[in-house]
Amino acid sequence: DARVTQTPRHKVTEMGQEVTMRCQPILGHNTVFWYRQTMMQGLELLAYFRNRAPLDDSGMPKDRFSAEMPDATLATLKIQPSEPRDSAVYFCASGLGPTDTQYFGPGTRLTVL
């Protein structure tokens, strides 16, 4: 049963610390997405990659967030330095191409104190 995995599932950190979230897309999927979910804003697209190349990261605060795909089996989302307003659930999703459905991971719940 192929699925997207994310680590860690929960992260509590203090303001100013660096946070790195990891995602393993479904094997063979070439499109990877990062979303953030909050009560106020709902689901927001932060960034997405196709064939490991970033296509759109306009939803991401550039000064503190960065997203990369070191290889086809790993996507990372880094926040440095973290702030309390970054507290949210961060989801990774993967798909096969432009019109393929997106399959979501279980999310990383981040709390920044």
Partner 1 sequence: GEDVEQSLFLSVREGDSSVINCTYTDSSSTYLYWYKQEPGAGLQLLTYIFSNMDMKQDQRLTVLLNKKDKHLSLRIADTQTGDSAIYFCAESMEGYSTLTFGKGTMLLVSP
Q: Which residues bind partner 1 (CB under 8 A)?
A: 4, 31, 33, 42-43, 45, 48, 50, 55-56, 91, 93, 95, 97-107
The least distance separating partner 1 from the CB of residue 24, rounded to whole angstroms, comes to 13
- 3-state secondary structure at position 51: coil
Smallest distance from partner 1 to CB 90, Å: 11
Q: Which C-beta is closer to partner 1: that of 81 or that of 96?
A: 96
How is 54-103 classified by DSSP, letter by letter? EEE-TTS-TTTEEEEEEETTEEEEEESS--GGG-EEEEEEEESSTTSPPE
Q: Which long-range contacts (CB under 8 A, 24 or more apart) does 57-62 make?
A: 60/34
Q: In this structure, is the dihedral angle defined by the CA atoms of residues 26, 34, 62 and 59, taken in order, positive or negative? A: positive
Other beta carbons within 10 Å of 90 = 22
Smallest gap from residue 101 Cβ to partner 1 (A): 5
* Minimal distance, residue 81 CB to partner 1, in Å: 27
The residue among 67 and 95 lying less far from partner 1, judged by its C-beta, is 95
Name the residue nearer to partner 1 (CB basis): 74 or 104: 104
| Residue closer to partner 1, measured from CB, 50 or 78 | 50
